[in-house]
Structure 1
């Protein structure tokens, strides 16, 4: 039992997460004292409880309550500290001026994306002007923009988009914690009004200079390695994934290799290991140093700033920050003569991140990275318990050991991250183990060492000597991804997993990883139950976006018919994913006067009618259809005002409801019709935008927003 008591501290980030999760699950913003009250009560219990074994359970419960209260309070403080103006409604075309803080070049033919700060426009009051604005450009100026440039442009602006369906990714919340208050697209061109080097330095100049350096390095990499290989190499070295072609992204996703494109634990850990092992090997060649000085600690001390420099050049996105904290703690453990990588180290890293950025708990990157590392540590702890000491001899044995370790690590990491991949992305890479068996060793032992050498050669203009051999490895990884993605059933879409299912799976996985005795196997049951919950969830029968311009209906064979095949790309893709339907497998929307094959969906020029389980739902686009549809349908979904004309209908969702509550989902069952709206589930929180809402005052930011991790970006500009 004492062995389990020694591991109680590992539950600190878990209960911090519980408090943070409770905060984000609330339907309204809590009072300031909500987090402080349980903290005081639990502290009182801790102080009053006697230091006896009988009181141990009470002290453990009080400690858990204290951790949850701290997590809750940290989320409250964070939410208040990042409050900034958000655009209230669609505006434009509007003339604006601003300073560039981020430039993202998109794949060929898709233009670019820029983020501006200090935005000014005559049509937007200064107190209502967003802190940051992100714009889509069809093309960059002939002379590329760099962070620090001042520009003028005409643009269409919108508030950050709401979730595309109940339970979908909340880009408004994501943008709120990055002070991103508007998105849009440029009408016409962009004019540079001042160059970065001509203006004063001022606040944030370090970050803008770092972003300029990052942009310059990215350009040099892509110039040396043109095409998709250069785009992937830039993603591995500077974190800029914007130029990777869609076909390569799809292949990496379906083959289970997409994690290689996001700079996280693998990349940061490899850079630290290369610096640590490489420098230590060099110092070991000098016997007076190796025999008389602690070169292991020296190399650990050098690896920390070296890894920080790599993380900074990679953009310091959220996954990179998490990984650097973890690697930094490992190197500090080496300096302190402690075991480098332990579950305790992981727990402190998770706790530090949750206290500083509580919203990270909701981030799929945070969830998946810590789940993978925790599972790997737990497996190797278990391996150390059951394995008898043995010595491998010869290079063949060592080589077999390396590949066995890669296979086991890939299998464990895949299993640990599967619940989160299914919940967030509704996708599972069937052959991910096979692809990782080749791609991970290739990345570890060929691509990343050349990347580190390329960084070292860049000050001398000799980076091509390292980038070209690195490119051979990158091309090989892309070839592996494309080959595996072509295998039958490589990437399968899974039904949407409910939140309670993810909670069960997470609780089971934590119990398996954090406990040591045989009773940890009790975590298997909730883990399996959580994964199985996806099979109990029925996708919506009808989906309507918040503007009433896009509708979707689930067909009798389980496919999804979308009213507009090309418009509103983000909502369409999200709906197909939530319904478990591939992009190319969507059903055709019936033409006026026609119906789908099963007669479930029938349309005319004024709208459509969906029939299922003996019930009818009318989808109205023209006011002239309301009188008839309101009389015969149990639910009327209208893109025009309908409440007055449909007073006798059982239920009505009209344009006013869509604008106020956002996208709606409808389930038609034998026992009735269920309706859910996006804003009904999100409640009244600071990041939830409503038409009549007034927004908080500007809160100055000290650094530009970090580049968005593509795995979590579900909002954008047309």
Structure 2
């Protein structure tokens, strides 16, 4: 059969045609298209229709050929096709593109471990996989698999090395002490307070045995002489870094650990300047202080020139000082999806580099002879590289700006060496550099959303370029100037719209996973606002920075401020009309599946990119495969919240923590906070004995240190302040939260879930789930830090609450006995 030629196939068609004709009462139309085979067979090419045959016979012959082509899609042929496409992908360099992916997988694996490994284990795994990769060089496929495994283990080892290198000393318990240290930076907050980052040199009253090396403290007022590098002292209340506000949310102690911040708090009075010798400072500290003082001076100059909220945003765009931006403007930009304008990242770096290159190329165009003999494009790229390096330094070298600088620097260096600038290879180099320097960034939203958007845009741009290159177009007709400008405007707006759609689609699930919110009107907002930012705000920001040393920046800052006024007005108008942006929780596996689909779709260049479709579909189908908690409990045991229906969230305190409640609202898709109703003891309006008659879906009812609420499922929740009163709730409550570290389970009933302050201090915030099918099944609980401590959680076991001790009280002074 395999050796038959074309003639035998035609004979078979003629032989089968009659019998097939007799089997069909109604033949298919003659226009039935003939699908091409997935894998062409050179020994058995597709047959041509026999125009001499009668119409029914030709139709039947076409049907037979379709069946024959379908029959040729066998597993060996599919395997051969996959192998051919994979070989082509490898020839095109996809293996190098997978290097940062493997490193990221290893880093994520390390930070997801249940317990901290010692150095010997990751080193041993790296050595073992390296030996296997070396031995398997004679088997290409096996060697490739071991190389990918080696890269994954190297990513794991990089995470371990960074954790060891950070080694941040974290404060274990809340304490008040005299802090003396050198100021690293100052931030003027929107509330009027000043936040100081201080490198601690000493503590007193009491002297801390395990004092953190760096803390962040706020003050109402500071002396005007205090600048970065100054030595200050003051009595302050220090607080340990907090954990996640709910399970599976962002871990602030993780961020503090890798930022080197061992504690935070506030001065109980105003800090004072201490006379000191600046020569005692290390050279690196003096350089950092000089840069920080220059940033503050520039920020003050910009605020004074522009003024208002526009001045705060202008300072944020030029020098990265954004603590003073009003909260309502920040929220409006988040709701409209343009908050990326505030955070110095790839957009700002690209606009700065583009503006510098445009100015340089325009200047070189004035000298045509020089431009014709010299590589002026490389000169402009070098100037842009120096400019973004200076921008990185003056903006404070924040992580997002650092990552964007690496990415753009690789592209500019590619221009200097006559390489294509915007390629997936350059993006891979940037990702490798970021992972090698800061592996912990891989698990953060900034890294994930930045590289997801950039890879999607680069992949889409490459695909569009290939499409245009393969498409032959006639020369464009001559048009009038209005037609030319209209086409250019529509093309620019179309490009901006596609950029927003592609980047927004690539980052949507990551934004929902980390922030539980989306921006429904982000496309409209970006189309309306980004032209102002790209054509007015950022170019004039660059011009003002260039003119600032000469004192000629006033006109440029004025135009920039007017552009920011329009931007603020438009974002506020759109925000007021934006629907609720809270979308609740999504499953982790859906984010993982979509990430895999994004990697395949952006890196593959053959038909193998179709493999992204099942992953993307599975990710979208599993988005809602998660259950929202029935009750959320803060890690300090002071706040309990539960959704009561109708978009309302009942809380147990009249003045809850605003940040925590805002996060809980988005996670539980609630719009309104319902405060508790407080009754005086013995007034007859509400008694503990009436707990069984509480209405479902009502707020907390509080009296005499006990707050009660009934979940819509019928479960009763009790929040108790003192362990002595906890036993009263054992008879009717399904969940009891005791805000007392010395408390134990007073009920000894397996159907009553009791959570104490000590448990929360050791394990973090909690989420409780009731069994909605059976009232006799006890509730289940999930803690934010449930398991062995990692280095950024070790401090949790040292607090007084975690040790089951009551709050610290100063000993009373003995009363002098009266003279005898």
For normalisation by structure 2, the TM-score amounts to 0.80
Match of 1:39 in 2: 126
User: What are the equivalent positions in structure 2 for 1:699-710 lying under 5 Å apart?
Assistant: none
- What is the CA distance between 1:101 and its match in structure 2? 0.6
- What is the CA distance between 1:603 and its match in structure 2? 4.8
Q: In the alignment, is residue 336 of structure 1 matched against residue 423 of structure 2?
A: no
Residues 345-371 of structure 1, C-alpha deviations (whole Å, 9 max, x = no match): 001100110011001102211111111
Shifted more, 612-621 versus 415-424: the winner is: 612-621
Q: Is the 8 A contact 1:660 1:690 kept in 2?
A: no
- What is the CA distance between 1:690 and its match in structure 2? 4.3
Match of 1:383 in 2: 464
2: CA distance, partners of 1:655 / 1:362? 29
Match of 1:364 in 2: 445
Shifted more, 322-331 versus 537-546: the winner is: 537-546
Q: Is the 8 A contact 2:236 2:267 kept in 1?
A: yes
Match of 2:744 in 1: 643
Match of 1:550 in 2: 639
2: CA distance, partners of 1:147 / 1:662? 35
- What is the CA distance between 1:170 and its match in structure 2? 0.5
Distance of aligned partners of 1:126 and 1:614 in 2 relative to their CA distance in 1, 3 Å threshold:
closer
Q: In the alignment, is residue 469 of structure 1 matched against residue 575 of structure 2?
A: no
Given candidates 57, 74, 89, the residue that maps to 1:4 is 89
Distance of aligned partners of 1:195 and 1:566 in 2 relative to their CA distance in 1, 3 Å threshold:
farther
Given candidates 635, 650, 655, the residue that maps to 2:757 is 655
User: What are the equivalent positions in structure 2 for 1:127-206 lying under 5 Å apart?
Assistant: 128-141=210-223, 143=224, 145-194=226-275, 202-206=283-287
- What is the CA distance between 1:501 and its match in structure 2? 2.4
Given candidates 211, 215, 220, the residue that maps to 2:292 is 211
2: CA distance, partners of 1:86 / 1:622? 29
Q: Secondary structure at the match of 1:536?
A: coil
Match of 2:39 in 1: none
Q: Secondary structure at the match of 1:162?
A: coil
Residues 416-463 of structure 1, C-alpha deviations (whole Å, 9 max, x = no match): 111111111111111111111122222112211111111111111221
Q: Is the 8 A contact 1:95 1:121 kept in 2?
A: yes
1: CA distance, partners of 2:134 / 2:279? 61
Given candidates 716, 723, 726, the residue that maps to 1:626 is 726
Q: In the alignment, is residue 106 of structure 1 matched against residue 180 of structure 2?
A: no
Match of 1:607 in 2: 707
Residues 210-229 of structure 1, C-alpha deviations (whole Å, 9 max, x = no match): 11101111111110011111
- What is the CA distance between 1:272 and its match in structure 2? 1.0
Q: In the alignment, is residue 96 of structure 1 matched against residue 201 of structure 2?
A: no
- What is the CA distance between 1:663 and its match in structure 2? 1.6
2: CA distance, partners of 1:375 / 1:275? 26
User: What are the equivalent positions in structure 2 for 1:496-507 lying under 5 Å apart?
Assistant: 496-507=585-596
2: CA distance, partners of 1:407 / 1:264? 20
Q: Is the 8 A contact 2:521 2:578 kept in 1?
A: no
2: CA distance, partners of 1:333 / 1:321? 18
Q: In the alignment, is residue 78 of structure 1 matched against residue 144 of structure 2?
A: no
1: CA distance, partners of 2:798 / 2:725? 33
Q: In the alignment, is residue 686 of structure 1 matched against residue 771 of structure 2?
A: no
Distance of aligned partners of 1:250 and 1:596 in 2 relative to their CA distance in 1, 3 Å threshold:
farther
Residues 153-172 of structure 1, C-alpha deviations (whole Å, 9 max, x = no match): 11110111111111121010
1: CA distance, partners of 2:768 / 2:195? 35
Shifted more, 351-360 versus 591-600: the winner is: 591-600
Q: Secondary structure at the match of 2:465?
A: helix
Match of 1:427 in 2: 517
Match of 1:574 in 2: 663
- What is the CA distance between 1:85 and its match in structure 2? 1.5
RMSD of the alignment, in Å? 2.3
Q: How many residues align?
A: 684
Q: In the alignment, is residue 522 of structure 1 matched against residue 621 of structure 2?
A: no
Q: In the alignment, is residue 457 of structure 1 matched against residue 547 of structure 2?
A: yes
Residues 546-593 of structure 1, C-alpha deviations (whole Å, 9 max, x = no match): 2221111221335311122433333222222222224xx112324345
For normalisation by structure 1, the TM-score amounts to 0.91
- What is the CA distance between 1:32 and its match in structure 2? 1.1
1: CA distance, partners of 2:577 / 2:318? 29
Structure with higher RCO (Cα < 8 A, 6+ apart): 1
Q: Secondary structure at the match of 2:676?
A: coil
Distance of aligned partners of 1:643 and 1:421 in 2 relative to their CA distance in 1, 3 Å threshold:
same
Q: Is the 8 A contact 1:214 1:238 kept in 2?
A: yes
2: CA distance, partners of 1:201 / 1:463? 34
2: CA distance, partners of 1:302 / 1:556? 59
Residues 176-213 of structure 1, C-alpha deviations (whole Å, 9 max, x = no match): 01110010011121212248978756442111111110
Q: Is the 8 A contact 1:46 1:62 kept in 2?
A: yes
Q: Secondary structure at the match of 1:276?
A: helix
Q: Is the 8 A contact 1:136 1:184 kept in 2?
A: yes
Q: Which runs of 5+ in 2 are unaligned?
A: 1-84, 680-684, 687-693, 800-820
Given candidates 473, 487, 490, the residue that maps to 1:397 is 487
Distance of aligned partners of 1:645 and 1:200 in 2 relative to their CA distance in 1, 3 Å threshold:
closer
1: CA distance, partners of 2:140 / 2:655? 61
Shifted more, 633-642 versus 572-581: the winner is: 633-642
- What is the CA distance between 1:612 and its match in structure 2? 5.1
- What is the CA distance between 1:615 and its match in structure 2? 4.2
- What is the CA distance between 1:604 and its match in structure 2? 4.4
- What is the CA distance between 1:287 and its match in structure 2? 2.1
1: CA distance, partners of 2:667 / 2:178? 38
2: CA distance, partners of 1:415 / 1:677? 32
Match of 1:588 in 2: 675
- What is the CA distance between 1:602 and its match in structure 2? 5.4
Q: Is the 8 A contact 1:612 1:669 kept in 2?
A: no
Q: Secondary structure at the match of 2:460?
A: helix
Match of 1:714 in 2: none
Distance of aligned partners of 1:666 and 1:154 in 2 relative to their CA distance in 1, 3 Å threshold:
same
Match of 1:675 in 2: 781
Q: Is the 8 A contact 1:600 1:611 kept in 2?
A: no
1: CA distance, partners of 2:535 / 2:698? 58
- What is the CA distance between 1:56 and its match in structure 2? 3.4
Distance of aligned partners of 1:120 and 1:569 in 2 relative to their CA distance in 1, 3 Å threshold:
farther
Q: Secondary structure at the match of 2:785?
A: helix
Q: In the alignment, is residue 281 of structure 1 matched against residue 362 of structure 2?
A: yes
- What is the CA distance between 1:609 and its match in structure 2? 4.6
1: CA distance, partners of 2:746 / 2:655? 32
Q: In the alignment, is residue 61 of structure 1 matched against residue 61 of structure 2?
A: no
Distance of aligned partners of 1:623 and 1:410 in 2 relative to their CA distance in 1, 3 Å threshold:
same
Q: Secondary structure at the match of 2:656?
A: coil
Q: Secondary structure at the match of 1:115?
A: strand
Q: Secondary structure at the match of 2:678?
A: coil
2: CA distance, partners of 1:315 / 1:528? 41
Q: Which runs of 5+ in 1 are unaligned?
A: 695-718
Match of 1:698 in 2: none
Shifted more, 370-379 versus 656-665: the winner is: 656-665
Q: Is the 8 A contact 2:356 2:384 kept in 1?
A: yes
User: What are the equivalent positions in structure 2 for 1:222-301 lying under 5 Å apart?
Assistant: 222-301=303-382
Distance of aligned partners of 1:534 and 1:587 in 2 relative to their CA distance in 1, 3 Å threshold:
farther
Q: Secondary structure at the match of 1:204?
A: helix
2: CA distance, partners of 1:194 / 1:95? 16
- What is the CA distance between 1:531 and its match in structure 2? 4.5
Shifted more, 535-544 versus 149-158: the winner is: 535-544
1: CA distance, partners of 2:455 / 2:281? 46
2: CA distance, partners of 1:196 / 1:492? 53
1: CA distance, partners of 2:615 / 2:754? 40
2: CA distance, partners of 1:518 / 1:586? 51
- What is the CA distance between 1:635 and its match in structure 2? 3.7
1: CA distance, partners of 2:272 / 2:702? 48
Distance of aligned partners of 1:546 and 1:50 in 2 relative to their CA distance in 1, 3 Å threshold:
closer
- What is the CA distance between 1:138 and its match in structure 2? 2.3
